[in-house]
Copies of this chain bind each other. A is one copy, B any other.
């Protein structure tokens, strides 16, 4: 339970509704900023503008998954209010106040570092990344079905990378009957891929492998699907790039060659906002509960 914890949710999207629901369920005191357009009927929560928020009473701040802009602005899907997170506000929080965000940037990093507040980047966590790979996989399947005139079943699919997302993607496409091969660097990854009944290859051979594939799904966050690789592909091949922006594909060259290449880096919030919210809510409340226990021990 989160009794006595005062948590401020500042901005966010549909995913944050699941987080708020769970925070209420666990008996925390919840303050919402940037949810004034929402008629969700949350009971017992306090809504305010960011200026009215009593930062000095806040034990934890939950930001949108994107954190802030480089000017400190916070994205608010459910409000037209411009919300900016300032240094003055952070200074007013208790020193034990933790800030939770999906990702971070220079602004948020320096704001928290300078004022010695703990910043938790949820998307850096392996558990979040693995759970998030589930809606990512389903979004990838949707994108491939929508953008091809052939079935995934029996098509030749190359998955690049075998990390937290790559393994999930490879398994799901194999399950749908695709002929999956996975491009990696490490021999132990090849071994695991073979154990799972798929084919593995080394990324140095990607140009050769590209010749007969129908679908290429990249999860590696640096340029890997180069113009050389794309030039080898069949004209009906499609590239789906799941790596965070700017992806790992030479999109300019793909367009020039007429190969369909789609950058789709944040599918969970798009295809399954409820599940994506539940994932964040579960991990967040686990972390908050640990925090609450530590505070109790100190008392």
Contacts and interface: CB of A to CB of B under 8 A. Distances in A.
Contacts of A139: 145
A151 B134 contact: yes
Contact of A177 (B134, B154, B273, B274): B134
- Going nearest first, the 5 A-B pairs with the smallest beta carbon separation are A175-B175, A149-B274, A151-B275, A142-B145, A151-B272
A177 to B, nearest CB: 7
A14 B145 contact: no
A42 interface: no
26 contacts: A14-B149, A134-B154, A135-B153, A137-B153, A138-B141, A138-B145, A138-B152, A138-B153, A141-B145, A142-B142, A142-B145, A145-B271, A145-B272, A148-B272, A149-B272, A149-B273, A149-B274, A150-B274, A150-B275, A151-B271, A151-B272, A151-B275, A153-B275, A172-B175, A172-B176, A175-B176
A139 B273 CA distance: 21
A40 interface: no
Which range holds the interface residue count of chain A? 20 to 34
Interface in A98-156: 134-135, 137-139, 141-142, 145-146, 148-154
Nearest to A153: B134
Contact of A150 (B137, B150, B152, B272): B272
Contacts of A138: 141, 145, 151-153, 176
Interface of A: 14, 134-135, 137-139, 141-142, 145-146, 148-154, 172, 175-177, 271-275
A210 B138 CA distance: 24
Given A137-B176, A138-B151, A149-B272, 16 more contacts: A14-B149, A134-B153, A134-B154, A138-B141, A138-B176, A141-B142, A141-B176, A142-B145, A142-B146, A148-B272, A149-B274, A149-B275, A151-B272, A151-B275, A153-B275, A175-B175
The interface centre, meaning the residue of A141, A145, A151, A172 with most chain B CB atoms within 10 A of its CB, is A151
Contacts of A135: 151, 153
A271 B147 CA distance: 9
A270 to B, nearest CB: 10
Nearest to A141: B141
A172 B176 CA distance: 6
Contacts of A272: 145, 148-151
Nearest to A139: B145
Nearest to A145: B142
Nearest to A135: B151
Contacts of A142: 141-142, 145-146
Nearest to A133: B153
Contacts of A154: 134
A137 B178 CA distance: 13
Contacts of A146: 142
